[in-house]
Structure 1
Amino acid sequence: MTTRPIRIGLQLQPQHADYAKIRATAAEAEDLGVDIVFNWDHFYPLYGEPEGKHFECWTMLGAWAESTSRVEIGALVTCNSYRNPELLADMARTVDHISDGRLILGIGSGWFEKDYAEYGYEFGTAGSRLDDLAESLPRIEARLGKLNPAPTRKIPVLIGGGGEKKTLRLVAKHADIWHSFGDPEVLARKVDILRGHCEAVGRDPAEIEVSCGVGSRGSATDPEELGAQLRKLGVSLFTVGAGGPDYDLGNLRKWIAWRDAQES
């Protein structure tokens, strides 16, 4: 079992809301005691009105770096396809400095075809996008090592996804945090596969924090039951999703209370 402390994240989805509401919700989450506030990297809403209000990910992270003071911030997750890897590294380093070392660099291979079509990116296939991610991660790492000034810390890299052959191997090679979804039975299998990839690349799996989504789109989850099951599998970061326009944080409050009860 993991000895990592429990952390609670909020994926504050930048859809269907004015920015003032998004900023206020990020501040409320910080006041509630959340550990990390994530957004996501899309150009259109993922549910609700397809042409509804939506804001860009990394511009928002720069603003959050100034408007928050304690929480870590990041994208859950950045789409590798949308930015040159060297540019993304520089953006991450810049937000790292603005936030005084609170950035998590979340990244994945991308999947939302509407984003690609509307913004002129080549969609390719799931396999080609994963191959692109595999090529980009060493370039990001290399650029982070060249930038002046250097990042304030070794920026944690979070890789999202559960693909067992390619994604989890990339997690084993490059990630500090692995984010996934799924019920405990599915997660248990993927954790075992990740351990196998770690062994193959010579990595201690204990170096990788396991993160799991535990509720979105208004779906309530029971921290007492689900949290205990996931904790036994090594999960230490539990992330609740909330979408606009209202950003109901009731589920988030339950998970924060559960975290605090475990620590008391």
Structure 2
Amino acid sequence: MSVRFGVFVPQGWKMDLVEIADPVEQYEAMTAVAKAADAGPWDSIWLYDHFHTVPEPTPNTTFECWTATATLARDTQRINIGQMVGCNGYRQPSLYAKIASTVDVASHGRLYAGIGAGWYEHEWKAYGYRWTDVPERMAEFKEAVQIIKKMWTEDEPVFQGRHYSIDKPINEPKGVRQPHPSFWIGGGGEKVTLKLVAQYADAANIGGGDPELLARKCAVLREHCDKLGRDYDSIIKSTNIDLDLAASSADNIARVEKLVEAGADYVNFYIPRVAYDHDPMLKLAAEVLPQFA
């Protein structure tokens, strides 16, 4: 089975730029990783959509997701670029669709537009966004996904929901990739999120690198696809894993093999310290990725 691979660039969210003092040099370190991935066999680079660091908020750099997406799209030539994943609560869905359409053009059709319901509570509150309980956030997310798809596929989209509405917004150009920008939905909620994947998405991000959990989410997604008449195999099933820097190439191959057996056809690596050392990324590209081509 052919598997494609992505790699996260260091944007500060995981405290992965703190050893670089100058913010310009921090940004250039992020860009350098993107360019190195662009030169290799990687299919994509990814950013997180967060404002504060993790595991706790600290006064350290976290570069804004969509701004960085746009600049990295212009700093690379071949590689796809996406968000893992965009937070619905941070942008009106109509604006999200417009931003994504613009970046898809700027990248010459290389955008993987990711979206999820969001979860990082203190970040929402610090930036003045209204924090709601899970059922309401999911209801908002469900409406947002529908609006985004309409903005990309209809000339005079109309939607009237409980949380959002649009009235024939003009979204030109809608993007470059056909039939619309590649739409990635992140999250494993079995009743709402995975059903939305089956209805509207080109790709899912599920399982968090856990083969057992991934297999369960894939099975639920397949059930939704069967009920809706969607071709399950037409949906990319991606998952994310943190690279163990001490692991051998053989260990990493075995780890990916387990994820593939569980249902993944796309794997995204987060590589600690890649801002300072590209060698682990280059080693993966040379020794692991070719095993799944």
Partner of 1:227: 256
1:156-175 equivalences in 2 (<5 Å): 156-175=182-201
Kindly indicate whether residue 235 of structure 2 is the aligned counterpart of residue 208 of structure 1: yes
Residue 6 (structure 1) shift: 1.4
2:176 corresponds to which residue? 152
Which moved further from structure 2: 8-17 or 200-209?
A: 8-17
Structure 2 matches for 1:114-129, cutoff 5 A?
A: 114-129=122-137
270, 275, 286: which is aligned to 1:241?
A: 270
Query: What amino acid does structure 2 have at the position aligned with 1:212?
Result: T
**Partner-residue secondary structure (3-state), 1:73:** strand
- Report Cα offsets for 1:58-82 as digits up to 9, x if no partner: 0111101110000000111000000
In the TM superposition, what is the alpha-carbon distance from 1:216 to its structure 2 partner? Answer: 5.3
1:51 and 2:59 equivalent? Answer: yes
Aligned AA (2:268): T
Q: Please, what TM-score do these two structures have when normalized by structure 2?
A: 0.82
Show structure 1 runs of 4+ deviating over 6 A: none
Q: State the alpha-carbon separation in 1 of the partners of residues 118 and 11 from structure 2.
A: 17
Give the partner amino acid of 1:7: R
CA pair 248-48 structure 1, distance change in 2 beyond 3 A: farther
Structure 1 position 14 matched with structure 2 position 11: yes
In 2, Cα distance between equivalents of 1:219 and 1:76: 25
Q: Are the aligned partners of 2:115 and 2:186 in contact in 1 as well (CA < 8 Å)?
A: yes
Change (3 A) 1:27 1:182: closer
Q: 2:205 aligns with which of 179, 187, 194?
A: 179
Q: Which runs of 5+ in 2 are unaligned?
A: 18-25, 156-170
CA deviations 1:182-210 (Å, max 9, x no partner) are 42112111111111111222211111111
Mean Cα deviation higher: 79-88 or 39-48? 39-48
**1:199-239 deviation per Cα after TM superposition (whole angstroms, max 9, x unaligned):** 22221111111101121586858322111122123311110
TM-score by length of 1: 0.91
Identity rate, percent: 34
**Partner of 1:214: helix, strand, or coil?**
strand
In structure 2, the CA distance between the partners of 1:188 and 1:101, relative to structure 1 (3 Å rule), is: same
**1:262 corresponds to 2:292:** yes
Bigger shift: residues 209-218 or 197-206: 209-218
Name the structure 1 match of 2:163. none
Q: Which residue of 2 aligns with 1:75?
A: 83
Q: Which moved more, 1:67-76 or 1:217-226?
A: 217-226
1:196 paired to 2:223: yes
Structure with the larger RCO, 1 or 2 (CA within 8 Å, 6+ apart): 1
The answer (yes or no) to whether the contact 1:217–1:241 under 8 Å persists in 2 is: no
Instruction: Render the CA deviation track for 1:17-37: whole Å, top value 9, x for unaligned.
Output: 321111111112222332100
